[in-house]
């Protein structure tokens, strides 16, 4: 979720084949497992898992392509490249979500913009826009005490703040920024020293990494259906609020490597390769 300017990264190091197969394999597994959790009566578990696994693999491959496009923000020095990156990534995430819900890959499509969660169900021809719980939290966490950059915010579908309050420490860490769920925060030094687009590409890669965790809500499809049927309050509230579980899962997964230096954490290394095309020397 955060980045720091280090002096000696190795340039020309883009996404690797290993990253591609990791995206494919992980999405295949979460798609297959979710499909089994949401198996319908009479369906065979093996067939359900294989279908979910195959669809998840497809979703993972497309996600990889979307995150790889964030480098164009850096290369072209143009934030507009977040749109093809986001849309491709969202398509991949949607396919994995459908896999985990034991649905056909094309049935439902999702998109996160600002703190809004948008879903379109092709089967029911139903479009929904809800406020995301993670979106609200992330926007407040990144934004409080900092300055909203309205132009980039409207142009990218992501809340962008300038400053260093709340999420960046002082001294040697003064270059740190953050990209979490629906918001990006950056210090003034990025613009002053000409690294703005390079680090924005990195932080937008984090935004797309978060989006890839949308599958977890599918694991609770049956419970969600029961709550809607049995609770009038929850039924009414859930029409307007999306209770996102992907944000907490992403954050906990990120924290699992909190004992590692920033530049060697899995999500940081991925964002560096996707958005900046740099890698760090192996640790001794």
pLDDT, tens only, 100-156: 999 999 999 999 999 999 999 998 889 999 999 999 999 999 998 899 999 999 999
Q: What is the spatial order of strands in the sheet that 108-113 belongs to?
A: 108-113, 116-121, 126-132, 241-242
d(C-alpha 210, C-alpha 219), whole Å: 17
Whether the per-residue pLDDT at 68 is higher than 70: the answer is yes
Range from 10-19, 114-123, 157-166, 174-183 carrying the lowest mean pLDDT: 174-183
Query: 84 pLDDT band (50/70/90 cuts)?
Result: very high
* Angle at which helices 246-255 and 196-211 cross, to 10°: 120
pTM of the model: 0.88
Q: How confident is the prediction for the chain on average, in pLDDT?
A: 89
3-class DSSP state of 244: coil
């Amino acid at each position: 979720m955060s980045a720091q300017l280090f002096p000696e990264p190795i340039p020309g190091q883009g996404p690797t084949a290993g990253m591609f197969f990791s995206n494919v394999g992980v999405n295949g597994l979460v798609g297959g497992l979710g499909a089994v959790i949401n198996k319908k009566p009479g369906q065979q578990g093996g067939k359900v898992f294989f279908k979910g696994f195959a669809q998840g693999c497809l979703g993972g491959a497309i996600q990889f392509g979307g995150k790889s496009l964030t480098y164009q923000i850096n290369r072209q020095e143009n934030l507009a490249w977040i749109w093809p990156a986001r849309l491709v990534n969202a398509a991949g995430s949607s396919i994995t979500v459908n896999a985990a819900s034991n649905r056909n890959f094309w049935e439902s499509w999702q998109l996160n913009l600002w703190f809004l969660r948008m879903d379109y169900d092709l089967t029911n021809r139903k479009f929904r826009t809800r406020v995301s719980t993670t979106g609200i939290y992330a926007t407040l966490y990144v934004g409080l005490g900092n300055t909203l950059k309205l132009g980039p915010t409207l142009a990218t579908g992501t809340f962008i703040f300038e400053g260093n309050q709340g999420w960046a420490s002082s001294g040697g860490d003064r270059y740190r920024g953050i990209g979490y769920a629906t918001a990006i925060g950056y210090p003034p030094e990025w613009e002053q020293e000409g690294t703005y687009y390079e680090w924005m590409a990195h932080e937008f890669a984090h935004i797309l990494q978060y989006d890839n965790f949308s599958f977890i809500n599918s694991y609770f499809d049956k419970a969600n259906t029961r709550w809607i049927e049995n609770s009038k309050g929850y039924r009414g509230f859930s029409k307007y609020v999306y209770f996102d579980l992907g944000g907490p899962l992403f954050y906990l997964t990120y924290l699992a490597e909190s004992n590692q230096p920033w530049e060697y954490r899995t999500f940081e290394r991925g964002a560096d390769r996707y958005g900046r095309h740099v890698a760090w020397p192996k640790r001794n």
